[in-house]
Chains A and B, each alone.
Chain A
Amino acid sequence: MKSLDLAELTISEASAQIRRKKLSPVELITLFLERVKELNPILNAYVTPTAEQAHADAKAAEREIRRGKYRGPLHGIPFSIKDNLATKGVRTTAGSKILSEWVPDYDATVVERLKQAGAIILGKTNMHEWASGGTTINPYYGTTYNPWDLKRIPGGSSGGSAAAVAASLCLGSIGTDNAGSVRNPASFCGTVGLKATYGRVSRFGDVPGTGGFSTDHFGIFTKTVRDCALVLRALAGHDPRDPLSSEEKVPDYSRSVGKKVKGLKIGVLRGYIEENVSGEVKRTFEEAVRLLQSLGLKKEDVSIPHMDLIPAVQTATSRVENASSLVNHLRARPRDFSPALLYRHIQSLTIPATTYVTAQRVRRIICREFDEALERVHLILTPTTPIPAPTIEECQRGYLEVDGKRVALQGLSGSFGTTCTIPFNVTGLPAISVCCGFSSLGLPIGLQIVGGAFQEGMVFQVAHAYEQATKWYERKPQLPQA
């Protein structure tokens, strides 16, 4: 297998070959590590590659498979892990200066489950400082670059993970999503990005202070929907170390992939999202909806009466919960946060308890309204992000032009990039981003498909049908040589 083929490879294809002993995990991991060595200096997707351990793990996987102990579809498959998930014996910085030398003595549950499934971890990926932003322009570990255009951001906060999957520096990655931090970079980098139902995946091992207790989720990046279904099966399930993880049975999600979609009802979410989305993204989204209709899905519009209050609920909830995790660091090392982030945390300390509880009460109304909508339709659709990836320069400037209007990237109601994603952090509903086309500048655009609680199977079913009908995932970024 030549290095070039790695760009085309998926988890499903690699695991089929590994299972039949036609592909050696050692050979596969060696090729990926060579690619990381070649391209990471250009992309800065990994902050801590773990090549030596990956080689050793690949050898162990190969020995096991030869002896007939095949663990399943992730055995021998290369993964990366966002740097706010604890990894035993491997530095875990959360993109921060404060944790720049922290080496945990335990694994996050998802890391443990990946290892049990036989996956090989190639390293830790770059992220926005403390996962508190959507650019992955990190003052301590550098900027991660979008593989589709090196002048642009990969999104964030899990930007390193998205860039790594898009550039085939691994076949899957695990990130976190407090306001869209998996779906936003998946959209900007043209990968699949899933945030499952709140509680579906244990959050044990998340670095405190990198997301709100009730809004943050772990998420998955892959190249295809089928791959994502395989990974979720391996990660999901109750974990006694996360008291908020669910005891719902974990189905075999792969069985939903390929099921017929005819007759299912999709709802297009109206409201403030429409007003914020650029004309180009709107047209691409509408084309995706028409394509789904041509596959036999029935469309109707969905409105949520208290939709406009979602940014306020998300901001009050996640900022207060996040600040409560950081008070010790804020007291001891305030100047080891970047100034903008320190100011934001101080603002969070000014939010009264009554505002937090009021936000939680409004949140219940919003959740009920979404549940009612999901009784009329099976799934809800939105664009994933209002625009394709902005340039690094635009992010540093703080604003950009959208259809001739100046738009602040960080406004009163939160980050512009999270407009479409935050409703599903507030409601905890499962949401996936799949590529639904490319802008006039050749940048990926994402379609967000949302299901009812614990309906990940149906989300995969429709996302896969769309993906197979369009094959956008087959288009790859043209990467320069190191």
Chain B
Amino acid sequence: MEEIVRRLNAEYGFNLSEEEIKLIAQQAEEAHRLFRPLYEVDLTDVMPMMKVDRRKGKE
């Protein structure tokens, strides 16, 4: 995770200190642990919840 944060730091120009990079990486790892159970759900035939915003065309 630290590598990802370093890459973002360079790309966005956040100018983060080493200490900040470590802290953000640690917090991000914790957040990613929260997401793990999402991948354990059986999602066969389940479409994402997204509204495709199209309107009926002229007839």
Kindly list chain A residues whose C-beta atoms are within 8 Å of the C-beta of B27: 343-344, 347
Quick check: is A334 within 8 A (CB to CB) of the other chain?
yes
A359 near B38: Cβ-Cβ < 8 Å: yes
* Contact of A313 (CB < 8 Å), options: B24, B38, B39, B47: B38
> Is A174 part of the binding interface, using a Cβ–Cβ cutoff of 8 Å?
no
Instruction: Tell me if A4 counts as interface (CB < 8 A to partner B).
Output: no
Knowing A308-B37, A351-B31, A362-B41 are in contact, say whether A346-B49 is a contact too (CB < 8 A): no
Provide the residues of chain B in CB contact with A358, threshold 8 Å.
35, 38-39, 43
* Given A346-B5, A361-B43, 12 additional A-B pairs, CB 8 A: A214-B49, A306-B41, A347-B27, A351-B35, A357-B48, A358-B43, A361-B41, A361-B47, A363-B48, A364-B46, A412-B31, A413-B34
Chain B residues with CB under 8 Å of A187's CB are: none
B10 at the interface (CB under 8 A from A): no
B4 CB contacts on chain A under 8 angstroms: 350
Q: Which residues of A contact B15 (CB under 8 A)?
A: 334-335
The answer to the question of B58 belonging to the interface, with a C-beta cut-off of 8 Å to chain A, is: no
Interface code B13-28, partner A: CB below 8 Å = 1, 0 otherwise? 1111000100110011
Flag if A316 contacts B8 (CB, 8 Å).
no
Question: Does A303 have its Cβ within 8 Å of any Cβ on chain B?
Answer: no
Among A244, A331, A412, point to the contact of B34 (Cβ < 8 A).
A412
Residues of B within 8 A of A244 (CB): 51, 53
Q: Are A347 and B28 in contact (CB under 8 A)?
A: yes
Interface pair A309/B41, CB less than 8 Å apart: yes
Nearest A-chain residue to B55, judged by Cβ: A243
Is A364 a contact partner of B47 (Cβ separation < 8 A)?
yes
User: Residue A355 at the B interface, CB < 8 A?
Assistant: yes
Residues of B within 8 A of A (CB): 1, 4-5, 8, 12-16, 20, 23-24, 27-28, 30-35, 37-39, 41, 43, 46-51, 53
> Within the complex, what minimum Cβ distance (angstroms) separates A198 from chain B?
9
Shortest distance between the CB of A347 and any CB in chain B (Å): 4
CB contact under 8 A between A412 and B48, given known A343-B20, A355-B38? no
B33 proximity list for chain A (CB < 8 A)? 412
Cβ-defined contact, A350 with B8, below 8 A: yes
Q: Is the CB of B35 within 8 A of A316?
A: yes
Interface residue ranges, A against B (CB under 8 Å): 214, 243-244, 306, 308-309, 311-313, 315-316, 330-331, 334-335, 339, 342-344, 346-347, 349-351, 355, 357-365, 367, 412-413
| Contact between chains at A331 and B13 (CB < 8 Å) | yes
What's the nearest-Cβ distance from chain A to residue B35, in Å?
5
8 smallest beta-carbon distances between A and B, as pairs:
A360-B48, A347-B28, A363-B49, A364-B49, A243-B53, A350-B28, A361-B46, A360-B49
Question: Considering only CB atoms, which chain A residue lies closest to B42 in the complex?
Answer: A365
Instruction: Give 30 A-B contacts (CB < 8 Å), ordered by A residue.
Output: A243-B53, A244-B51, A308-B37, A309-B37, A311-B34, A331-B13, A334-B15, A343-B20, A343-B23, A343-B27, A344-B27, A346-B24, A349-B8, A350-B1, A350-B5, A350-B8, A350-B28, A351-B31, A351-B32, A351-B35, A355-B35, A358-B43, A360-B48, A360-B49, A361-B43, A362-B41, A362-B43, A363-B48, A364-B47, A364-B48
Question: Residues of B contacting A331 with CB < 8 Å?
Answer: 12-13
Interchain CA distance A313-B48 in the complex, whole Å: 12
Residues on A with C-beta less than 8 A from B35 are 312, 315-316, 351, 355, 358-359
Q: How far is A363 from B20 in the complex, measured between Cα atoms in Å?
A: 33
Complex partner residue of B49 from A308, A330, A361, A413, CB under 8 angstroms: A361
